[in-house]
Structure 1
Amino acid sequence: MTRSSLSPSRYMSEAKSSGGRRTRGTPGNPEDRAGEEIEYASQKALRDTWVSRTRIFLAPYFAEFIGTGVFVLIGCGCNLTYTVLTTNAESAWMATSFGWGFGLMTGVFVAGGVSGAMLNPAVALSFAGYRGLPWIHVPFYFLAEFAGAFVAALLAYACFAHSLDPFDGYNRQISGPFGSAGAFGNFARPFIGNGAAFLSEAVGAALLVLGIFAITDTNNFPARSATPIAIGFLLTGLSLSIGYPTGGSFNPARDLGPRCAAAIWYGADVFTFHGSYTWVPVAGPLAGGILGATVYEALIVSRRAVVEDNESIASSEHRSISLE
């Protein structure tokens, strides 16, 4: 088959006898074909420019940056709303849990088709270890997620700065009845030690990653197009169930990025408060994420995988019997 027979111009030529209507099967004008080939070459050259290649290369990292930013902006906005507008912020825990869940859902919708929407260093590390995410992406995903969370916290503060002024009398405080730093970086409750807080964060992150692995496993019972919704409600459920003692971060970038932003207004004490608590919401989720991924991959065998394995064994046995 010749190249001209495959050309779209074959079906786009116009016959004078048909009054200018397009007819199929009429050979196109050679000049038209030449013009189309020139236009195609120019478009290909445009796609092959350095700017275009760079944009394609950076697309996953920008997706992680924006997706994490959307997630954190919605979550921090909910925290600040119920910190400033309620007399008892503790009673708003259910509302903020749903806010963070909706934020994660929106972030996954934004970035899922481009980067996979890790939006969490613990998830990215787990997917690199067990789901084929190239390791070369991992440090850049970490940086993009941290940067997205940091910028989102700055935007959240900018939106609420004038609301915070009458709340605390222009005196930014970390804790106490007028403390608001917890709307950015998480802090364990005063009666929770760092060891217990580490365990809580690790268990929460393990359940989060285990749930995400199950939701996205095509050999199990995948949520498919409802994946962002399922993951959002997964985070909400974890926050409502075991997140209260520590604030339910389960995400190093979600905590460290806003904490660094909060240090601009609350000072360096945000890193040393509560027995230098900063390491807990970073190390806990990373350890828990690997644990959750390992448990799923080692112990959860989907029904479809079992059926396929049994069919493979039966087929091999049938071949051996036939040979005998």
Structure 2
Amino acid sequence: MQAQRGHLDRAAGDIETGIADVLQPRRVHNAAPQQAPPQWLVTWETRRPTLVMECFAEFLGVFFYCLFGIGASAAFFTTAAAKVEGYGNLLTVGLAYGMGIALAVITASATSGGHLSPCYTIAFWAFKGFPARKVPFYLISQIFGAMVATWCVYGMYKVEFDAIHEALVAAGPIGQASIYTPSGPAGILALFPGTGQQSSYLFLTEFMANLVLAIVVFTCLDGSTFTVSMATVPFVIALSYSSIIWAFAPASVALNTARDLGGRIACSAVYGHGCFTAHKSYTVLACLTNIPATLIGGFIQTTLLSDTAREILHAPPHMMEAARSHNERNGHDGMSLRSPLTRDGLSLRAITRDGNGTGSNEKTGYIPQE
């Protein structure tokens, strides 16, 4: 059969390599050869600062997470105010936040690790050896990502937001007071408690939600956990976020300093200082509670649920050799260890450029596993 494209030979069995081919073991077949990257791209890859890449990945990940979550909240809010049904509810908001988290982790994890929240950057520094010098850069990038996402959502719904705001202002003091509540326009961009909610209960909700979430996240990142794989981790974490929103959103829950502080800063640029001062105690509580709760959750999983002598079952490509050595030191044969990107005993390792701007055979491409 004549090849339809120049780089494929159908008669020889050449096919395009898709995600199913690298995630699932299959019979060996001839894959279309990967074309060499253009020289300008190689030159850029050798010169770009690694920290800039990581900070941009964190910015983009939080941007995705907040854009979809706040966008779904805005759709629900504006259509409900217009008395139009069918455009949103708590289920759609929870799903949007969850899928935003999944897309954020998938997009950012290979570059920055996909922290997406100051509390996890701090926890990974405390328990996972994350460099302290990078912590402030990650935190700033995450908060800025939430700010930009919030401004984007406001820009896309500006006409509806402004109309609702004008109506509330015209309604007098009662209407103006509702601007800084979950049922007001500022309450979509920033986060505010419901009417009459006490600080002690707000703290308990926020603390417990973040504690449980941290245990789940650290368990998913434990290479010895056999109930999840590297490919399913983003969706397990996403479902955890969605479940917490479905369960505790009516009781007010923030979960992320970047989402809370970044959204509040963006909100104050639109609706003034009331975004910070309307509920002073909740402003501090929502921004900071997740940090100690996540540290405690990480401590619980690290000290009580994990074991450094267990066999590592899955690891990212660039950590395969270290994981294999760990298993050998602890008496495991390592036969169950699999990279998330494998096909018929071939492992796709992380691309690393050498000083000449090229990748060596030991670091790029499909390399036989030992």
How would you bin the TM-score normalised by the shorter chain? 0.7 to 0.9
Tell me: CA distance 1:194–1:219, structure 2 relative to 1, closer, same or farther (3 Å): same
Runs of 5+ consecutive residues of structure 2 not aligned to the other structure:
1-35, 170-175, 313-325, 332-370
Task: Select which of 202, 205, 212 maps to 1:197.
Answer: 202
Identity of aligned residues (%): 24
Question: Residues 117-132 of structure 1 correspond to what in structure 2 (within 5 A)?
Answer: 117-132=114-129
1:113 alignment counterpart: 110
> Residue 235 of structure 1 aligns to a residue in which SS?
helix
Contact 1:167–1:178 (CA<8 Å) still a contact in 2? Answer: no
Task: Select which of 68, 72, 85 maps to 1:78.
Answer: 72
Show CA shifts across 1:49-95 (max 9, x none): 7x953443310100000110111111110111111102589x82222
Tell me: CA distance 1:153–1:52, structure 2 relative to 1, closer, same or farther (3 Å): farther
Instruction: Measure how far apart 1:164 and its partner are.
Output: 1.8
Please report the TM-score for the alignment, with normalisation by the length of structure 2. 0.66
Question: Residues 252-291 of structure 1 correspond to what in structure 2 (within 5 A)?
Answer: 252-291=257-296
Contact 2:57–2:111 (CA<8 Å) still a contact in 1? Answer: yes
Give the helix-richer structure, 1 or 2: 1
Contact 2:222–2:306 (CA<8 Å) still a contact in 1? Answer: no
Question: Residues 210-289 of structure 1 correspond to what in structure 2 (within 5 A)?
Answer: 210-221=215-226, 222-246=228-252, 248-289=253-294
1:166 alignment counterpart: 163
Q: Does the alignment pair 1:103 with 2:100? A: yes
Task: Select which of 91, 94, 104 maps to 2:91.
Answer: 94
1:31 alignment counterpart: none
Q: Distance in 1 between matches of 2:281 and 2:304?
A: 36
Show CA shifts across 1:118-151 (max 9, x none): 1011111111111222122111110000000001
Tell me: CA distance 1:68–1:176, structure 2 relative to 1, closer, same or farther (3 Å): closer
Q: How many residue pairs end up in the alignment? A: 269
Q: CA RMSD in A?
A: 3.1
Show CA shifts across 1:195-217 (max 9, x none): 32122212211111111111121
Runs of 5+ consecutive residues of structure 1 not aligned to the other structure:
1-39, 314-324
Q: Distance in 1 between matches of 2:241 and 2:92?
A: 13
Show CA shifts across 1:245-301 (max 9, x none): 11x211001111011101112110110112442111111101111011011111103
Q: Distance in 2 between matches of 1:45 and 1:188?
A: 49
Segments ≥4 residues shifted beyond 4 Å? 42-46, 170-173, 306-309
Q: Which amino acid aligns with 1:232?
A: A
Contact 1:168–1:178 (CA<8 Å) still a contact in 2? Answer: no
> Residue 244 of structure 1 aligns to a residue in which SS?
helix
Q: Distance in 2 between matches of 1:287 and 1:303?
A: 24
Tell me: CA distance 1:195–1:77, structure 2 relative to 1, closer, same or farther (3 Å): same
Tell me: CA distance 1:303–1:84, structure 2 relative to 1, closer, same or farther (3 Å): same
